[in-house]
Amino acid sequence: MRLQKEGKVITYPSSDELIAVIETSLEFFIPLTGQEYNQDYVCILKVREDGKITSYREYWNPLVSIKALGRANSFEPGSGEFKEGSK
């Protein structure tokens, strides 16, 4: 994958100063499939008083990834699994 563009980073307020909620987007090009991969992300970080990260969670849409990797037709909706014999 080649990174094409980084979206604006948006931070959201938290009632806990040691938790950061961040939203961003990234745009990639996948040479293998010739597809663009444009994904939105929401990240939640927890840090200690000294600033070291203690927890990182990232949320994104896996269906966008499946489509960009050229496997949209082999995915069984609702099952979370690929159809047998698919690449």
Cβ neighbors of 84 (< 8 A, separation 6 or more) are none
| Cα gap 50→34, rounded to integer Å | 44
User: What is the enclosing helix (H) or strand (E) of 65?
Assistant: helix 62-68
pLDDT in tens, 29-71: 999 888 899 999 999 999 999 999 999 999 999 888 888 887 7
pLDDT of residue 32: 85
The answer, yes or no, to whether residue 85 has pLDDT greater than 60, is: no
Is the pTM here over 0.95, yes or no?
A: no
pLDDT of residue 63: 87
- What is the percentage of the chain residues whose pLDDT exceeds 70? 80
What domains are there in the chain, each with its CATH number? 2-61 (3.10.450.50)
